[in-house]
Amino acid sequence: MAELARSPLYELHRAAGARFVEFAGWEMPLQYTKISQEHLAVRRAAGLFDVSHMGEIELCGPSAFATVQSLTTNDAQRLRNLEAQYSLLCLPTGGVVDDLLVYRLEDERFLLCVNAANTAKDLDWTRRHAYSDTVVRDASRDYALLALQGPKATDIFASLVGENVRSVPRYGCCTVSIGGTRALCSRSGYTGEDGWELFCPWNDAPAVWNTLLAAGAPAGLVPAGLAARDTLRIEAGLPLYGHELDEHTTPVEAGLGWAVRCSKGAFLGSEVLCRQKQSGVERKLVGLVLTEPGIPRQGYDIMKNGKHIGVVTSGCKSPVLGTGIGLGYVASAEAWVGNTVQVQIRQHLVSANIVARPLVRPDV
């Protein structure tokens, strides 16, 4: 068995009493205290996540922009320097290779932040489809990645780097100094809350982590693990590769048609995806809130009037709502908000309502 990779913060996590889990070949903190406590801290104050297992791929050169445009579904023409956008890599069939954030660092230099489980695949995919004068480089060990998330995240961040960051829009970027360490920061995240994702040099991550925790402690900032990150993203209705997204699922089915820009011209998967945007799809991703006790899990059937109409892709007990919630795909004709369905949990049919995403809004 291959040795698991560790983030540069591993020793700090261990000293803080973290419980670890294997994820995508990494040994990462699952939780430090109770999952619900970490979750609610992010909803009410702020949490700090180590997501250094995420992959980073750098593209540079005269054709870097053209490569990004041909590979990704969103329109990189909309990006000015130091801006980011959510996008996807797709197969010619429209299936999802991965979802990612695209950062435009300079006119001819881009950074792709990809899912940890897909880093090697995405790197190979990008190299195989890049224009000849685009240099593609695995930059994953150049950066540690921290995520400061929650309604008090910007207050904490501004106390360290200055009030100007308050004017940075969603997906806007800036470079700052945190305790003497330069970091690339974007106003983004995976929790449904306001927040910041910070790329800093790998070896400087412990100092940045400690500086953030110390500055945020009076406001209620706590370290948070991957378990809370997952329950937060389910409440926010955000897809996770391997659950809501895979090579047999398209962005349009997943409700991500807004990130598919047909007006920009041809890109990998555009023929299928643009047709789907115009003509519709047979199934759609929906949010589920159970009205009876139970927790939906990936693979559970979704039923209505004794008929199979879909399948659960993710589920948990919502720390905010106090009931089981989930995401899943159902037949498009049944994907309307307010529809009452049933989730097959072992031998029982448990009632649930289809709800709009996000399932929990930031002001709850």
Q: Are 84 and 272 in contact (CB under 8 A)?
A: no
Secondary structure letter of residue 297 according to DSSP: -
Mean pLDDT of 186-195: 98
Q: Are 100 and 119 in contact (CB under 8 A)?
A: no
For 344, the 3-state DSSP assignment is strand
Query: DSSP letters of 232-249?
Result: HHHHTT---BTTTB-TT-
Q: Which positions ≥6 away from 194 have C-beta within 8 Å?
A: 149, 150, 151, 153, 154, 187, 362
- Provide the total of helices (H) and of strands (E) in the chain, helices listed first: 8, 20
Secondary structure letter of residue 357 according to DSSP: S
Phi first, then psi, for residue 76 (nearest 5°) are -70, -15
In the predicted model, is pLDDT for residue 15 greater than 50? yes
Q: Are 187 and 147 in contact (CB under 8 A)?
A: no
Write out pLDDT tens, residues 40-73: 999 999 999 999 999 999 999 999 999 999 999 9
**Long-range contacts of range 83-86, CB-CB < 8 Å, 24 or more positions apart?**
83/171, 83/172, 83/173, 84/171, 84/172, 84/173, 84/186, 84/188, 85/171, 85/259, 86/171, 86/259
Which domains does the chain show, CATH number per domain? 5-52+142-235 (3.30.1360.120), 55-136 (3.30.70.1400), 282-355 (2.40.30.110)
Q: Are 338 and 258 in contact (CB under 8 A)?
A: no
In the predicted model, is pLDDT for residue 300 greater than 50? yes
Token pair for 278 = 């115009």
Q: Are 284 and 292 in contact (CB under 8 A)?
A: no
For 143, the 3-state DSSP assignment is strand
Amino acid code (one letter) for 86: Y
Write out pLDDT tens, residues 323-343: 999 999 999 999 999 999 999
Write out pLDDT tens, residues 220-265: 999 999 999 999 999 999 999 999 999 999 999 999 999 999 999 9
Buried-exposed string 329-341: b where 16+ CB fall within 10 A, e elsewhere: bbeeebbeeebeb
Residue 2, pLDDT score: 77
In the predicted model, is pLDDT for residue 266 greater than 50? yes
322, HSE (Cβ side, Cα atoms, 13 Å): 1
Q: Band of the pLDDT at 3, cuts 50, 70, 90?
A: very high
Sign of the torsion formed by the C-alpha atoms of 88, 92, 95 and 96: negative
